[in-house]
Amino acid sequence: MAKRRILCLSNGHGEDLNATLVIRALRRLDPTLRITAMPIVGEGQAYRKLGIPIIGPTESLPSGGFNYINFARFLNPRNWVRDKNPISLGRDLVSGLVILIWRQWRATCRHSRTCDLLFATGDIVPILFALLTGKPFVVFLVSTSAYYEGHVKLPLVLKWGLRSRRCQKILTRDGYTARDLQRRGFHRAIFAGYPIMDTLAPTGKAIKREAHCPLIALLPGSRLPEARQNLGLMLRLCQAIAARCPAQFEAALVPQLDAEQVQALAQSQGWQTSRTGALTQGTVTVGYHYGLFADILHHCDLVVGMAGTAVEQAVGLGKPVVQIPGAGPQFTYLFAEAQMRLLGLSVVTVGDRPADQAILETAADHISDMLTDPAYLQACVANGQERVGLPGGSEAIAQTLLEILATL
């Protein structure tokens, strides 16, 4: 029997992560599968780390890909001004955005001829790619949720794709979205789980807890230089929090934001770097760590987040999250406000513009109040399970794909 082939299409860092988690589960369940990928945004590092062949060109654009993660907005110039940075969009266009998409589409057409099933993770772009190949496909709507508006907003192109007879199944990121789609006639919509909750096994490395002191996790994001700028805001926020209540601060950083950059940033703001992995200013200490994201999340009492997927994972673990807008391109007020609607009561966004000292002081007040509200903290646990879900999504989605393959 010929080996079965799956092509994964995705358009963003979080989408790549979800797809690769499903791939890991597929490999465990059926090691004979041949799996390839076309990451439409970024360089597809998540796939490359697994050794998954990339079938077309990839490139990191100046915006980090935010100008075309949502293809409907890309097609509407009015949204460039309202939702995106037009200068950033112009840089992407100069860098060859349209030509890149065309080359990726051509590669997808060529390679898909030998594939049995396409797995499109994201929104309009990968779904449109999958639809136009003429091959059977499964959709995972990672970027879409009924929580944003109370119902799923489906552009015409997306409706066309989801209603196609070639669309074998519509997987959603939460149960609320699946129910909304089913009510509207998309009977192939199901919620099988959210794979990002399968990446949070602690390493077991000890994080020393200070006695009688809440631990606050700092998540400045993963993309540079934005993550470095966000960390600078967080250091100022830590000072404001410490002036109100005792707290332990631990930052989870990506390797690209290395210790040399962290220390240079801290020193520019008057912090000392007396020992590896710690910054101090007066009586305030901020620890920073690499590779301990899951450990910090499990141990913390509250999260200060300026990230996307990492904030969703924190909410899924039942943690309260305070967001402060930055200068972007990702973590602006528009992004933070949308994330607050998506994730419900667990997330509080303070400020509607890039954070200044007044916003940081207000955020510190909120954090002090939240940490002393046991009813709210308990509500965050229930809300996280409802909005994000429990572990096990990767294997459930993988099993769904294998069942579909068996029918083709």
Cis peptide before 320 (omega within 30 of 0): no
Q: What angle do CA 260, 258, 223 make, to 5 degrees?
A: 130
Residue-wise pLDDT for 371-381, tens only, equals 999 999 999 99
For 56-60, 82-86, 237-241, which range has the lowest pLDDT when averaged over its residues? 82-86
Model pLDDT, residue 81: 39
CA torsion sign, 338 to 123 to 308 to 189?
positive
Count Cβ atoms below 10 Å from residue 73 Cβ, excluding itself.
19
Q: What's the alpha-carbon Rg for the chain, to the nearest Å?
A: 21
Query: Which amino acid, one-letter code, is at 149?
Result: E
pLDDT at 13 (0 to 100): 80
Q: Which residue has the higher pLDDT, 397 or 101?
A: 397
pLDDT surpasses 50 at 68? no
User: CA–CA separation, 276 vs 288, rounded Å?
Assistant: 9
Q: Does domain 5-199+391-407 have CATH number 3.40.50.2000?
A: yes
The label of the residue with tokens 């490359």 reads 48
Distance CA 31, CA 93 (A): 40
| Domain extents in the chain | 5-199+391-407, 215-387
Q: Do domains 5-199+391-407 and 215-387 have the same CATH topology?
A: yes
Amino acid letter at 169? K
pLDDT digits (tens, 9 = 90+) for 326-347: 998 889 999 999 999 999 999 9
So what CATH class is 215-387? alpha beta
* Residue-level pLDDT at 206: 75
